[in-house]
Amino acid sequence: MRRTLLLIVAALVLGLGCGKSGRNPLLKEFATPFGVPPFAEIKEDHFLPAIEEGIRQHSKEIDVIAQNPEEPTFANTLEAMELSGQLLTRVGRVFSNLNSANTNEQLQAIAKQVAPLMSKHGDDILLNEKLFGRIKTLYEQRDILELTDEQRRLLQETYLDFVRGGANLNEEQKARLRQINEELSLLTLQFGENILKEDNAFSLVIDDEADLAGLPAVVKETAAEEAAKRGLQGKWVFTLHHPSLIPFLQYAEKRDLREKMFKAYSMRGDNNNELDNKKIVSRIASLRVERANLLGYPTHAHFQLERNMAKNPANVYELLDRLWKPALNSARAEAKKMQALIKAEGHSFALQPWDWWYYAEKVKQAEYSLDEEQLRPYFKLENVIQGVFDVAGRLYGIQFVERTDLPVYHPEVKTFEVQEADGSHIGILYTDYFPRASKRGGAWMSALREQSNIGGDRRTPIITNCGNFAKPTAEKPSLLSLDEVETLFHEFGHALHGLLSNCTYPSLSGTSVAVDFVELPSQIMENWALHPEVLKLYARHYETGEPMPDELIAKIEKSSRFNQGFATVEYLAASLLDMDWHTLADTTAQDPIVFEKRSLDRIGLIPEIISRYRTPYFRHIFAGGYSAGYYSYIWAEVLDADAFEAFKENGLFDSATARAFRTHILAAGGTDDPMELYKKFRGKEPEIKPLLVRRGLTGR
């Protein structure tokens, strides 16, 4: 995820629009506390004129740098570039956030209009011969220039940006590269929009209460409220949003309805309708191969991985293949237990993917006396948030002060000022945790402003955390599942990476690191989420305020490796599918369903499990920044499992260990090679054994 300001701007093509002159609030510095966006003043019509003005200003700034008659220096070239494009970046970040978290048809139309403009603008910069000439001169002189380590890193990475952006191509090749980039920008945008519409298009309406058999009361209450919102009094509505889908798959006794819900989810983008993504996928894959070949790489994966810790596809496959066999063996054993339970109930059907969640829950209750619904009352959203704040406070000496005076883009959004222990300002955190039709699925962190400190002009970060967690009902507050608790801690880890950044240049700050390193700060936070010592801090019953009983905490700990075969296999299947798509070496059009089947058959995926993401709705790789990069979660888990061993050895909240992690990982951004940063923290390279132990994959 490390990128220069140029690539930040280019990346915003996936969701970027702009504003208008006159009274357009986007065209001036935001006169708000801490410079947060004045959301109430910003209208959709402001975005397009603002992006056009941002492009004009940025183009002019770049031209001045490129045409400078003076010899290139770090200050008049690299640093000047870092300071350029501020209007465009500011507007783009606001738009990107809104288009993900609170979109509408007008914003989506603007995004499509702006995508080719932004693609062209990014190419205009990266293919600017005079600008590249100045950068190349500095790069060739890098060993004799008096640069700090961070400046040297910025020079190296910026030079690579231009080379990888086509600076060394001939004119004919450059023209073709522009065409490819423009088409890709529109295709990836359309892919994501189609999935959002598919998510919202389906609903399961139940009018017979008998069909709700097995569902917990809170799940039925939520479904009744959703029906009432739609004017369907006396009925129940279930959607494809995870807080509705997963409990239904876990508890609904009606097998035919579980199948209907599961297939609706797993067939998104594959319904041969106007929202079908198969042709889009095939075209994206072909264009990525062509672009990689044009730039001198055998495959898109080689192009993507060059800057990652993994370096090349062979290293990724080596890790995934090493984990696949023991994970598959675990999953087979889990499936065998479930099939035995099905038989014991007097059924003759074979376990299917829509049965897995249901029978896994039954096995968990039988083996561990643990029911997910026993836990929800102890995971009130507000308590979990306070819990993660307390963990960060004890680790890093920081505090979170809720602000009710800052503008927000939706009534459900909350804002917090992040401060050091002495009250000094660090940054602003926005939290937005409930699903809605205007919001894409999943959970994510983003930055409305990245931290920087060029010439002593310190800009503090403005970070967002978004999720799609269980909403409160008229009877109960938002009560989270175990998975939602871990997801909240995960995204908060990304937020800390952005908030605690202490870099000079925005292109290297915060989460601007390799994609297989960026998940370390997020995944390590999950280790605290369900740790017995931490659960005692925040897991309190929403009605009585009583802490979670030791007996229940012990059950959570005992069941921590339950269903890990399934979890690992469905994830690895998606990671291998991603790699197969992006190690294609020619542009031959693929039938995505045939290709997917061939990929999954090759690794022997059992029929009871499907890939976590099927090709037609694999947003991470076809509409996000994780193409040839979905493996990064498990790669980073090797790092986080090893890193957490340091806390286990020295103390869960050991101040020296936490200070080292903050200094060398969270604050350092992309200022050094990721492995070097890790070794500065840990004193050695990571070992894989802690990961294997955690997932119960040893000795198989």
464 in Cβ contact with 448 (< 8 Å): yes
Walk along the chain (700 residues) in steps of 10 and give the mean pLDDT of each run.
38 32 86 98 98 98 98 98 98 97 97 97 98 98 97 98 98 98 98 97 97 96 96 97 97 98 98 98 98 98 97 98 97 98 97 98 95 94 98 98 98 98 98 97 97 96 97 94 97 98 98 97 98 97 97 96 96 98 97 98 98 98 97 97 98 98 98 98 97 82
666 in Cβ contact with 521 (< 8 Å): yes
CATH of range 5-126+128-164; options 3.30.428.10, 3.40.50.2000, 1.25.40.10, 1.10.1370.40: 1.10.1370.40
Taking residue 213's Cβ as centre, other Cβ atoms within 10 Å add up to: 11
Matching residue, tokens 């797993």:
266
Query: Which amino acid, residue 583?
Result: T
CA torsion, points 91, 92, 96, 98, in degrees to nearest 10?
Answer: 10
Alpha carbon of 697 to those of 90, 320, 323, 574: distances in Å? 46, 13, 8, 19
116 in Cβ contact with 51 (< 8 Å): no
Q: Give yes or no: 41 in active site.
A: no
Q: How far apart are CA 415 and CA 403, in angstroms?
A: 6
Structure-token pair, residue 363 = 């096995």
Query: Which amino acid, residue 628?
Result: A
Are 5-126+128-164 and 377-558 the same fold in CATH? yes
Alpha carbon of 302 to those of 307, 575, 585: distances in Å? 9, 15, 10
Q: 556-580 burial by CB neighbour count: b if 16+ within 10 A, else e?
A: beeeeebbbbbbbbbbbbbbbbbbb
Any alpha helices (H) in 102-128, and if so which ranges?
105-126
Q: Where are the beta strands (DSSP E) in 280-405?
A: 398-403
pLDDT at residue 699, rounded to an integer: 54
What are the domain boundaries of the chain? 5-126+128-164, 202-266, 377-558
CATH of range 377-558; options 3.10.270.10, 3.40.640.10, 1.10.1370.40, 3.30.565.10: 1.10.1370.40
User: Which one from 82, 484, 491, 637 is the annotated catalytic residue?
Assistant: 491
| Structural element, H or E, at residue 564 | helix 564-582
